[in-house]
């Protein structure tokens, strides 16, 4: 339905149909142009760029959490009147996407990447990109994000690609990009170099093999220990610490390598830790970064015995051509057969794996392009230390600073075809390197046309590092860049603090002289109900679209943020989504009730005198408190607490209390306070919908459209309309003012008075539940006020207490020494409540029932306490299982105490 076709009305459907509402209103928002970001001179904008999803596949729950958090902030700020830009886009994800396409070709029996050739393969990847880009944008729309689609970006768009080249050239000309030959992390499967943070370390069970290396002169031997026997084929020395008294006399002597027969020297180097292993370290310069440095210091040979595909090279001698792990098995077998295997020990250690495909990486020497990081890191460190950039939660500041202070040069070249090709051209005639933002046709030095471009592509994060400003037009001086940059907040997962966040900070400071954002809000991962990371191998992944189809977008969004806190992981429980859906249904049904009771209502004129009672004044005060708290909490990025505050206000205070309190007045046309109740219902519901809108945009829009009372649009609405090419915006809750405390609604006295009335009703309900008195049974009650003020309040609230407490004869009196006999009792601040039980319960039977329940409870508690005293259970069971058992035991202990107290009271009544 278009914005022009959208009609109002005063009736809601009997049942909330999330799918119907959500399909209708996203198109309504798009047609209306509500989310086109306007440039309003003199007014402070609010900008957030999306962490661009990779076009490797579809979105997961982590994306849903991330975009929900961003959308909450964006909708909140838009409703506060800021010119607001939520900029969408996607990332080409060079290596990850190339891997996916190659896998797809293998599964379909198609040609390999190399059989296709670079041009044809890249065309295949573009096809993949178009397919999954369409899926991702469809999913984002389904999620209800209020992005400006007119500014959508892709990291390989022409304008963003130009920014990447400008970045490379600028750093190269400043001497911050260089080409070097050194040990790099190498993925044998993907056949490319990786940066330090693209390697994930997994704890694995392995072994340490101890081998005997004989002295060449036959005077003895030494023992070395290694976790990778296959690398020993590239040994060119054995090193000891120069201060190690055990080996000082051996420095300079030669060893005969037990596997190759070559003679290698014993050298002294301070790098060696005498306390580690035997104190003797084999040096394999080509296959270990530390050994490489030692090799340079001592001028050692550097044979390569493991090739790029993880196979042994010709330099490995008789083991040449073997897979590295098969070679390991052969060497160990030979060592055992020939007598130079000393011992084998079990060993738990961290193994470096490719973050993209999981293959164990190889440290190999290769020539790559690097970014010199120290000069770039220093201003990025100062920006955070000075407070220019704030990281939420604050504990991640130390993590960021530690990494940046110890940062290594960044390897930016990748041996892949999908991505931004390195803008360097080699001259085959003079050897000169031409580095250019545009494709040259000749060598800039000698003028030869015999030039060829570097085959490698840039690391994906090289382009992503420019995202906050390349998406706004950099390196051009665009209106968007001038107005919307720097952006305001970056919301992303803590797991890419180094991959992405740090790189955006130093890139922005280097290229624009400005910080890219003032705040970084880090959220955790969405894990399964058992706390495990979701993965294909475990089969525990959850598709957010499946959740939306079953429960609705609003339910998913609300579930994701409730219970969340910055920097902490959350667990996905289907029950929590069901609770969020129930909350939506509760709001829908309450709103439907309100609308049905506003059919004859007209908004009160300015200054009209209405007869507001204590309940009206109370709910308006509670709304003010909720609005104040939510604004403060959102300002602190406490999404979970903000959502909980709204939930409690809507479910408990507005629905369960206020609506129930005013029903008798609504149903009585002659009640002089009925108009005040209607006025309060209408205004509080309308404000509540605006309060909830950033969290649950669909249901709030659907209900708000039906209200006979609507808040006016924000002052930026005309500029938003013009940005969308319209004369005016149609009605939408998303461009109304976000609630703040309403002047004149604060009423601490009404709040205090209602607290006593509500506590009294709750006490009566608790007694009813405790003694299993039927819901429809009218119970007599005596309420004794502990002060004159409390007595007046209770008498004022008599009708509320009688109605919601379902009392028969209700006596309200000052506290007296004589208490009702054989009565259940409760105490609240300001009153004592008594419910005579005579005639309501069969005393002997109730005592018998409670005695049996107490015995059962005690037995169950004893079993749990026995389990918790078992050291085997405490050490072997999963921590969450132990914690759950403790919680169950605590609940049973509390229940047992309550049963004992109740039995004691009943036995005293029995005499």
CA dist., res. 511 & res. 106, Å (int): 42
Contact by Cβ (8 Å): 403, 498? yes
CA dist., res. 509 & res. 464, Å (int): 15
Contact by Cβ (8 Å): 468, 517? yes
Q: Where are the alpha helices (DSSP H) in 522-652?
A: 544-551, 553-561, 574-596, 614-635, 639-647
Up-side HSE of residue 102: CA atoms within 13 Å toward CB? 19
Cα distances (Å, whole numbers) of residue 291 to 283, 285, 312, 363, 365: 5, 5, 19, 11, 12
Q: Where are the alpha helices (DSSP H) in 452-527?
A: 460-464, 467-470, 479-484, 502-511
Contact by Cβ (8 Å): 238, 210? no
Rounded to the nearest 5 degrees, what angle is found at the Cα of 843, between the Cα atoms of 842 and 849?
A: 90
Contact by Cβ (8 Å): 167, 508? no
Ligand-binding annotation for 374, yes or no, is: no
Residue 645: phi and psi, rounded to 5, are -60, -45
Radius of gyration (C-alpha) of the chain in whole angstroms: 36
Of 104, 92, 204, 240, the residue nearest 157 (C-alpha) = 92
CA dist., res. 63 & res. 493, Å (int): 9
Contact by Cβ (8 Å): 620, 745? yes
CA dist., res. 331 & res. 351, Å (int): 20
Kindly give the pairing relationship between strand 831-836 and strand 779-785. Answer: antiparallel
CA dist., res. 505 & res. 379, Å (int): 9
Query: Which tokens hold the place of 823?
Result: 């009565």
Sheet of 489-493: strands edge to edge? 390-392, 519-523, 489-493
Which conformational region is residue 278 in: left (phi greater than 0), alpha (psi within -120 to 50 degrees), or beta? alpha
Contact by Cβ (8 Å): 230, 286? no
Of 237, 226, 287, 282, the residue nearest 264 (C-alpha) = 237
Rounded to the nearest 5 degrees, what angle is found at the Cα of 534, between the Cα atoms of 125 and 392?
A: 95
CA dist., res. 480 & res. 463, Å (int): 19
Which conformational region is residue 838 in: left (phi greater than 0), alpha (psi within -120 to 50 degrees), or beta? beta
Contact by Cβ (8 Å): 601, 679? yes
**Cα torsion through 252, 258, 260, 263, rounded to 10:** 20
Query: Which tokens hold the place of 371?
Result: 């970014």
Residue 481: phi and psi, rounded to 5, are -65, -40
Mapping DSSP to helix (H, G, I), strand (E, B) and coil, where does residue 331 land?
helix
Angle between helices 639-647 and 614-635 (to 10 degrees): 170
CA dist., res. 423 & res. 440, Å (int): 10
Q: What is the DSSP letter of 659?
A: I
Mapping DSSP to helix (H, G, I), strand (E, B) and coil, where does residue 323 land?
strand
Mapping DSSP to helix (H, G, I), strand (E, B) and coil, where does residue 713 land?
strand
Q: What is the DSSP letter of 538?
A: T
Mapping DSSP to helix (H, G, I), strand (E, B) and coil, where does residue 671 land?
coil
771 class by beta-carbon count within 10 Å (0-12 exposed, 13-18 middle, 19+ buried): middle
Per the annotation, binding residues are 536
Per the annotation, binding residues for ATP are 536
């Amino acid at each position: 339905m278009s914005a022009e076709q959208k009609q109002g009305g005063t009736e809601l459907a009997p049942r909330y149909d999330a799918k119907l509402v959500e399909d209708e209103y996203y198109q309504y928002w798009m047609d209306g142009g509500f989310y086109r970001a306007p440039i309003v001179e003199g007014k402070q904008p609010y900008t957030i760029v999306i962490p661009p999803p990779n076009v490797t596949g579809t979105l997961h729950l982590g994306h849903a959490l991330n975009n929900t958090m961003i959308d909450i902030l964006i909708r909140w700020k838009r409703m506060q009147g800021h010119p607001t830009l939520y900029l969408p886009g996607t990332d080409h994800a060079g290596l990850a996407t190339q891997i996916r396409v190659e896998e797809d070709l293998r599964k379909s029996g198609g040609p390999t990447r190399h059989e296709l050739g670079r041009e044809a393969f890249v065309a295949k990847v573009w096809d993949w990109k178009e397919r999954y880009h369409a899926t991702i944008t469809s999913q984002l729309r389904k999620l209800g994000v209020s992005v400006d689609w007119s500014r959508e970006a892709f990291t390989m768009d022409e304008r963003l690609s130009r920014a990447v080249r400008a970045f490379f050239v600028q750093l190269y000309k400043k001497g911050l990009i260089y080409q070097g030959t050194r040990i790099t992390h190498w993925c044998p499967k993907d056949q490319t170099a990786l940066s330090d943070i693209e390697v994930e370390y997994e704890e694995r069970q392995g072994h340490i093999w101890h081998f005997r290396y004989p002295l060449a002169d036959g005077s003895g031997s030494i023992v070395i220990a290694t976790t990778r026997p296959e690398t020993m084929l590239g040994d060119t020395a054995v090193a000891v610490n120069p201060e190690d008294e055990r080996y000082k006399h051996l420095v300079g002597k030669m060893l005969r390598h037990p596997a190759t027969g070559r003679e290698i020297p014993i050298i002294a180097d301070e790098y060696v830790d005498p306390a580690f292993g035997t104190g003797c370290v084999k040096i394999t310069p080509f296959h270990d970064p530390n050994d490489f440095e030692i090799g340079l210091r001592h001028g050692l040979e550097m044979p390569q015995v493991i090739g790029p595909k993880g196979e042994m090279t010709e330099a490995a001698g008789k083991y040449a051509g073997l897979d590295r792990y098969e070679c390991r098995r052969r060497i160990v077998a030979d060592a055992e057969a020939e007598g130079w295997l000393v011992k084998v020990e079990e060993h738990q250690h961290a193994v470096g794996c490719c973050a993209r495909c999981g293959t164990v990486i190889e440290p190999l020497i290769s020539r790559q392009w690097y970014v010199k990081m120290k000069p770039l890191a220093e201003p990025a460190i100062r920006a955070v230390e000075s407070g220019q950039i704030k990281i939420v939660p604050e504990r991640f500041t130390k993590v960021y600073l530690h990494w940046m202070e110890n940062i290594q040069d960044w390897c930016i070249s990748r041996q892949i075809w999908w991505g931004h090709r390195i803008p360097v051209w080699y001259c085959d005639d003079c050897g000169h390197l031409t580095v250019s933002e545009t494709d040259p046709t000749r060598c800039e030095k000698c003028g030869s046309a015999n030039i060829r471009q570097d085959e490698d592509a840039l690391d994906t994060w090289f382009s992503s590092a420019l995202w906050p400003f390349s998406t706004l037009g950099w390196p051009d001086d665009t209106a968007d860049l001038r107005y919307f940059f720097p952006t305001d907040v970056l919301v992303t997962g803590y797991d890419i603090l180094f991959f992405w966040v740090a790189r955006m900070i130093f890139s922005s400071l280097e290229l624009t002289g400005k910080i890219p954002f003032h705040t970084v809000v880090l959220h955790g991962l969405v894990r399964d109900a058992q706390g495990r990371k979701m993965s294909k191998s475990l089969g525990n992944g959850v598709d957010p679209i499946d959740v939306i189809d079953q429960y609705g977008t609003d339910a998913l969004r609300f579930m994701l943020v409730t219970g969340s806190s910055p920097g902490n992981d959350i667990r996905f429980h289907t029950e929590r989504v069901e609770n969020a859906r129930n909350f939506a249904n509760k709001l829908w049904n309450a709103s439907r009730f309100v609308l049905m009771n506003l059919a004859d209502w007209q908004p009160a004129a300015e200054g009209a005198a209405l007869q507001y009672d204590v309940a009206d004044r109370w709910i308006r005060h509670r709304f003010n408190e909720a609005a104040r708290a939510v604004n403060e909490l959102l300002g602190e990025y406490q999404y979970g607490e903000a959502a909980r505050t709204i939930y409690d206000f809507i479910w408990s205070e507005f629905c369960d209390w206020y609506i129930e309190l005013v029903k008798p007045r609504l149903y009585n046309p002659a009640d002089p306070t009925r108009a005040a109740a209607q006025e309060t219902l209408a205004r509080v519901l309308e404000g509540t919908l605006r309060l909830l809108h950033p969290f649950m945009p669909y249901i709030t829009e659907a209900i708000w459209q039906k209200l006979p009372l609507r808040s006016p649009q924000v002052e930026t609405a005309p500029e938003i309309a013009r940005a969308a090419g319209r004369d005016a915006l149609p009605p939408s809750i998303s461009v109304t003012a976000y609630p703040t405390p309403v002047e004149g609604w604060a009423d601490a006295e009404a709040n205090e008075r209602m607290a006593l009335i509500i506590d009294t009703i709750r006490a009566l309900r608790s007694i009813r539940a405790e003694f299993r008195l039927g819901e429809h049974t009218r119970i007599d009650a005596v309420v004794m006020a502990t002060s004159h003020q409390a007595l007046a309040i209770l008498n004022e609230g008599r009708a509320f207490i009688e109605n919601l407490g379902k009392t028969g004869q209700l006596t309200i009196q000052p506290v007296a020494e004589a208490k009702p006999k054989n009565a259940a009792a409760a105490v609240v601040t300001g009153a004592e409540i008594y419910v005579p039980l005579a005639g309501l319960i069969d005393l002997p039977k109730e005592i018998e029932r409670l005695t049996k329940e107490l015995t059962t409870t005690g037995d169950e508690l004893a079993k749990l306490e026995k389990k918790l005293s078992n050291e085997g259970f405490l050490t072997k069971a999963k921590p969450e299982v132990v914690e759950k058992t403790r919680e169950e035991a605590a609940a049973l202990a509390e229940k047992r105490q309550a049963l004992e107290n109740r039995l004691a009271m009943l036995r005293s009544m029995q005499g």
